[in-house]
Amino acid sequence: MRIAIISDIHGNYPALAAVLADAKKQGIHGYVFAGDYCLSGPYMNECLAAVRAIPGAYIIRGNEENYLERLIGADQTKWTDGQMQISYYSYRIMPKENLDYLMALPYTIDIECNGVPIHIAHDRSAFLGNEIDGDHWRSSSLAEKYAGRTVTQEQLGEDIRRANDGDGLLQEKLKSMAAGVYIFGHTHVQWHYRSKDGRIVLINPGACGLPLDCQPGTVPYAVLEVTDDGEVTVDERRVPWDLEGYVKTLMESSQYTGARVWTEVIRRELLTGREQLIFFLRFAEEYAQSFGDERRPYAIDTWEKAYELWSAQE
Ligand SMILES: [Fe+2]
């Protein structure tokens, strides 16, 4: 059995189409989608149509879907801040039918394949708890570690494997977990790890629609193979796609008009393949505090001025 694992599409249909086309050539028997279908790209409805058209796919909900849930039934005349513009935009372009579909998705799915238990959740904390929070998995840490250079997937995988091997808390946790495969996304960094005793395989397929693992120009997903006798292998795939073309349509889209600052930050993340949002949010917080602005979410004037100052720094 070969299972394609795709996560964090974030409204990026061209990336999803590239990944699905690659998966078609890989002899795939099943699909897993590990959450975050919307926010950041304008094509979430196209993405949902493609995901829903795959018969028998295992589909769970991510944290971005929660932002839309919080807006259901809210008073739209109060949507006047800058920070939440991307959520307001996404909510407004999503038909109720799609929203209902997302809200009905499960947060976790457990399946079994050739005798191997497979657990799926959006965030690794569902399996590892909150105390295991490896710095080496974070997109912001990678952006600093690999500043000014790209990294190959082999090198990144090796760096993360070594860091996992030396992470005492993680090693202790793995010993207490049931044998099986644990699939999650959320951090937008592609990696997988087999425990030292071989009982457990952790898989983050990376973010199909918004990769932040310092490899601009390709989009990630993973192929999990479970043989008839229960042997597990993982192929971390990276697929070339039309990054420049997507960025161009992004800047010409209604999302750019509806959520300009957010879309600018996403454009930077796509082009560099690394975390930008966390650094911008830190800057915006310092900027707002510098003149005692306590409005949260950030008001339009603060949000836009913060971006103007932050982007002028580089
Ligand atoms: Fe995500």
Q: Ligand 1 centre from 269 Cα, in Å?
A: 13
Strands of the sheet with 108-113, listed across from one edge: 108-113, 116-121, 180-183, 200-205, 190-194
In a domain, residue 257? The reply is no
Q: Ligand 1 centre from 168 Cα, in Å?
A: 27
Q: Ligand 1 centre from 60 Cα, in Å?
A: 13
| Same-domain check for residues 191 and 297 | no
Using the 3D structure, point to which of 240, 257, 291 is the last residue of a domain.
Answer: 240
Q: Ligand 1 centre from 115 Cα, in Å?
A: 30
In the chain, the percentage of residues whose pLDDT exceeds 90 is: 96
Residue given tokens 């149509």 in the structure block: 49
- Cis peptide preceding 240, ω within 30 of 0: no
| Same-domain check for residues 282 and 236 | no
| Same-domain check for residues 235 and 285 | no
CATH number for the domain that contains residue 58 = 3.60.21.10
Q: How much is the pLDDT for 122?
A: 98
Q: How much is the pLDDT for 256?
A: 98
Q: Quick one: residue 103, left, alpha or beta (phi over 0 = left, psi -120 to 50 = alpha)?
A: alpha
Angstrom distance (rounded) from CA 14 to CA 44? 11
Q: Ligand 1 centre from 159 Cα, in Å?
A: 22
| Same-domain check for residues 229 and 293 | no
Q: How much is the pLDDT for 131?
A: 86
Angstrom distance (rounded) from CA 209 to CA 277? 15
Q: Ligand 1 centre from 183 Cα, in Å?
A: 14
In a domain, residue 48? The reply is yes
| Same-domain check for residues 288 and 200 | no
Q: How much is the pLDDT for 135?
A: 84
Q: Ligand 1 centre from 1 Cα, in Å?
A: 27
| Same-domain check for residues 294 and 146 | no
Contacts of 256 (CB under 8 A, 6+ apart): 250, 263
| Same-domain check for residues 29 and 131 | yes
Q: How much is the pLDDT for 208?
A: 98
Using the 3D structure, point to which of 187, 220, 240 is the last residue of a domain.
Answer: 240
| Same-domain check for residues 181 and 313 | no
Q: Ligand 1 centre from 227 Cα, in Å?
A: 30
pLDDT band at 150 (very low <50, low <70, confident <90, very high): confident
Using the 3D structure, point to which of 194, 222, 240 is the last residue of a domain.
Answer: 240
Task: Please give the tally of structural domains in the chain.
Answer: 2
Residue 229 has pLDDT above 80, yes or no: yes
Q: Ligand 1 centre from 64 Cα, in Å?
A: 7
Q: pLDDT of 165-214, one tens digit each?
A: 999 999 999 999 999 999 999 999 999 999 999 999 999 999 999 999 99
Q: Ligand 1 centre from 122 Cα, in Å?
A: 9
What is the overall mean pLDDT for the chain? 97
Q: How much is the pLDDT for 15?
A: 98
pLDDT band at 133 (very low <50, low <70, confident <90, very high): confident
pLDDT band at 302 (very low <50, low <70, confident <90, very high): very high
In a domain, residue 153? The reply is yes
In a domain, residue 269? The reply is no
Q: Ligand 1 centre from 226 Cα, in Å?
A: 26
| Same-domain check for residues 42 and 172 | yes
State how far Cα 91 lies from the chain centre.
Answer: 19
Q: pLDDT of 14-64, one tens digit each?
A: 999 999 999 999 999 999 999 999 999 999 999 999 999 999 999 999 999
| Same-domain check for residues 282 and 172 | no
Going from the C-alpha of 65 to that of each of 15, 244, 274, 305, the distances in angstroms are 19, 27, 22, 28
Q: Ligand 1 centre from 171 Cα, in Å?
A: 26
Residue 281 has pLDDT above 80, yes or no: yes
Q: How much is the pLDDT for 118?
A: 98
Residue 243 has pLDDT above 90, yes or no: yes
| Residue 289 domain boundaries | 278-314
| Same-domain check for residues 111 and 212 | yes
Are the C-beta atoms of residues 218 and 238 closer than 8 Å to each other?
A: yes
Angstrom distance (rounded) from CA 235 to CA 22? 13
Among 79, 32, 96, 39, which Cα is nearest to 63's? 39
Q: pLDDT of 68-111, one tens digit each?
A: 999 999 999 999 999 999 999 999 999 999 999 999 999 999 99
Q: Ligand 1 centre from 290 Cα, in Å?
A: 30
Q: How much is the pLDDT for 11?
A: 98
Q: Ligand 1 centre from 36 Cα, in Å?
A: 5
In a domain, residue 273? The reply is no
In a domain, residue 75? The reply is yes
Contacts of 40 (CB under 8 A, 6+ apart): 10, 11, 12, 64, 86, 209, 210, 262, 266
Tell me the two tokens of residue 187: 């951090």
Contacts of 310 (CB under 8 A, 6+ apart): 279, 280, 283, 284, 287
Q: Ligand 1 centre from 42 Cα, in Å?
A: 15
Q: Ligand 1 centre from 74 Cα, in Å?
A: 24
How many residues in the chain?
Answer: 314
| Same-domain check for residues 179 and 293 | no
Q: How much is the pLDDT for 223?
A: 98
Tell me the two tokens of residue 21: 């086309």
In a domain, residue 6? The reply is yes
Q: Ligand 1 centre from 49 Cα, in Å?
A: 19
Q: Ligand 1 centre from 206 Cα, in Å?
A: 9
